Structure 1
Amino acid sequence: MNPLNILLPTFALVVLGHLLRRHAGFSAGFWSDLEWLIYYVLFPALLFGALARRPLELQSAAGMIYTGVIFMTAGMLLGYLGRYLLRLTETEFASSFQCAFRFNTYIGFAILGGLYGAEGVAVFAILAGFMVPLANLGAVWALARHGNQGLLRELARNPLVLSTFAGLAWSVSGWPLPEMADTTLRFLGEAALPLGLIAVGAGLRLAGLGSRLPAVTYLSIVKLLLVPAIALATATLFGLSGPYLASALILAALPTASSAYILAVRMGGDGQIVAAIIATSTLAAAVTLPFWIYMGQLGT
């Protein structure tokens, strides 16, 4: 499959969201409410449903999960290295550190769904289910350390973490999803991806890029090039193929999550530098993601 057939519609929705935010006349409250709906209702329904309706095959996914832990840890180490390579204040570092390893799950699900359908969504959900807590742990650690806030409290109320582990637990139980519940979750999940991509575009902000260009450049290179290169090497060692290889490689290559900005602002960090990195990495990913998808297909 031509990666452009998946990426062009994906990024078209991101661009649409940006245009709607600038020109459609919706209030700031509308976009804030939309983000809340996606983050707390639609996306948790997608994660829970994708995991709960399929038998959990952790043995098949083990190599993918190990690969994820390795490249996620590498991203954290490279992000921490930026503290010494870049002239960042403590607040700037605590806020931007997460941009080296957090990933935009909306784009990832759209790509895996386009490549492998329901199987791709389920496999990616398993990997994201293990990586979301790890990524949030690293992100919240830096900000909580800076702002003296509770790490466990932040993780315990994260809707992506809760819905992921609830879905995994349901899958392990072997219980079938009631038909009405399954249909409801499918409806909500189908709305999550297009609205999530539109919200990503609406949240793009490039203000303040000039003064932070070295940090933005370094962290974008780490996230879009170095981390996926490590993922590809590790996945090759574990012999991954098919949706398992694609999930690992694409998750590693995704731009920084838009929720990183929300977390930074909510925990008293520097939202401006995070917003600049998110916007830059999202735009640059339109160029880098086709390469990594192609590399994943070569290994299939």
Structure 2
Amino acid sequence: MHFVQLLLPDFALILCGYLVCRYTALNRTVWEQVESLVYFFLFPVLLFQSIVRSPLDLGAASNLMAAGLLLGLGGIALAYAVPHLPGLARVVDPREHAGAAQVAFRFNSFIGLALAERLAGPQGLLLIAVLIGVCVPLFNVGAVWPMARHGRTGFGRALLRNPLIIATALGLAANLAGFRVPAWMEPSVNRVGGASIPLGLMAAGAGMQLGHLAQQKALAAALLAIRHLLLPLLAALLARGLRLDGAQTVVLLLFSALPTASSCYVLASRMGYNGPYVAALVTLSTILGMASLPFALGVLLSAT
């Protein structure tokens, strides 16, 4: 499996957005409007369609769903604990942590969907869709909570106004109700959702300023260590403890080692936090995914 080849296009789009924003007339003024389009329309459509595309068999995938939720709760707990760890309390800025904590547990669903299909075929695609369906609401709540709490904007209000959470909730309700996007609408819906991938990645690159990482190196190291080392190790323990079958184990390990979501930047930026810092973390996470995916699917899978 050539993981570098799968990750390189995402990284190339981030770099492209950075270069276009810095060296052409398409500056930050233009990309701020692109961010709004992605956040309020394109990403929600993609999330909704990803969730309703495949029926959720809750019974057959119950152990996998439990493993995914436990993995997510573990990642959120570790991310929230970072400012309270010995040696980090005095060097981690609370506001920077509030905006960036999501990097430690959210995931790039685009890469996950592509890899799951290649690794396990249609079954892998269905299993990753189950994980997306049950974990995205949890992860979005986990991402919004520290920002809403630190910004004193009201947690419930922030959730109700968050288009990603709204799209996920509607997608789950529609899936469980048996709704599917009509065949005549699918091409248009798929194109709208598909447009969010390149534009979201390029918007992240346009807002990137790697120099921001120098201000919070310890925070960056802690969050990325959780995302790319601790979560794969936890996933291996959960797969063994819950006795997942072969395909479920592969998908859970894949899920645990994915780079963080490119929409982390969009969410942090739209909620008034340090978007460039989060964009830099997204870029580093994409690079680290080239190491964590082989680690999880090679070393840990063989030991599970």
- Partners of 1:119 and 1:46 in 2: how far apart? 20
Other structure's SS at 2:153 match: coil
- Partners of 1:221 and 1:150 in 2: how far apart? 30
* 2:88 is the counterpart of 1:84: no
Q: Given residue 112 of structure 1, which amino acid in structure 2 is its aligned partner?
A: A
Q: Which moved more, 1:108-117 or 1:129-138?
A: 108-117
* 2:191 is the counterpart of 1:187: yes
Match of 1:29 in 2: 29
- Partners of 2:188 and 2:168 in 1: how far apart? 17
* 2:255 is the counterpart of 1:248: no
* Distance 1:142-1:175 versus aligned 2 partners, 3 A rule: closer
TM-score (norm 1): 0.83
Match of 1:282 in 2: 286
- Partners of 2:35 and 2:121 in 1: how far apart? 25
The equivalences for 1:212-251 within 5 A come to 212-241=216-245, 244-251=248-255
TM-score (norm 2): 0.82
- Partners of 1:166 and 1:42 in 2: how far apart? 15
After superposition, what is the alpha-carbon deviation per residue over 1:32-75, rounded to whole angstroms, capped at 9, x for unaligned? 33333333333333332233243221223322221122122222
Match of 1:137 in 2: 141
By how many angstroms is 1:270 displaced? 4.6
* Distance 1:3-1:161 versus aligned 2 partners, 3 A rule: same
Q: Given residue 171 of structure 1, which amino acid in structure 2 is its aligned partner?
A: N
* Distance 1:93-1:191 versus aligned 2 partners, 3 A rule: closer
Contact kept in structure 1, 2:208 and 2:279, CA below 8 Å:
yes
Identity of aligned residues (%): 39
Q: Given residue 217 of structure 1, which amino acid in structure 2 is its aligned partner?
A: A
After superposition, what is the alpha-carbon deviation per residue over 1:1-31, rounded to whole angstroms, capped at 9, x for unaligned? 4434423344333433333333444222332
- Partners of 1:219 and 1:122 in 2: how far apart? 29
By how many angstroms is 1:95 displaced? 2.9
- Partners of 2:262 and 2:5 in 1: how far apart? 24
Match of 1:74 in 2: 74
* Distance 1:48-1:99 versus aligned 2 partners, 3 A rule: closer
Contact kept in structure 2, 1:6 and 1:114, CA below 8 Å:
no
Contact kept in structure 2, 1:241 and 1:299, CA below 8 Å:
no
* 2:152 is the counterpart of 1:159: no
The equivalences for 1:2-41 within 5 A come to 2-41=2-41
By how many angstroms is 1:101 displaced? 1.8
Contact kept in structure 2, 1:133 and 1:155, CA below 8 Å:
no
Q: Given residue 231 of structure 1, which amino acid in structure 2 is its aligned partner?
A: A
* Distance 1:50-1:271 versus aligned 2 partners, 3 A rule: closer
- Partners of 1:128 and 1:41 in 2: how far apart? 19
By how many angstroms is 1:278 displaced? 3.0
* 2:267 is the counterpart of 1:257: no
Q: Which moved more, 1:96-105 or 1:56-65?
A: 96-105
By how many angstroms is 1:120 displaced? 4.4
- Partners of 1:297 and 1:284 in 2: how far apart? 18
* Distance 1:269-1:11 versus aligned 2 partners, 3 A rule: closer
* Distance 1:11-1:272 versus aligned 2 partners, 3 A rule: closer
Residue-pair matches, total: 300
Match of 1:177 in 2: 181
* Distance 1:34-1:262 versus aligned 2 partners, 3 A rule: closer
Q: Given residue 62 of structure 1, which amino acid in structure 2 is its aligned partner?
A: S
Q: Which moved more, 1:231-240 or 1:16-25?
A: 16-25
The equivalences for 1:36-75 within 5 A come to 36-75=36-75
Other structure's SS at 1:155 match: helix
- Partners of 1:71 and 1:95 in 2: how far apart? 21
- Partners of 1:185 and 1:119 in 2: how far apart? 23
Q: Which moved more, 1:101-110 or 1:79-88?
A: 101-110
By how many angstroms is 1:265 displaced? 4.4
Gaps in structure 1 of 5+ consecutive residues: none
Other structure's SS at 1:128 match: helix
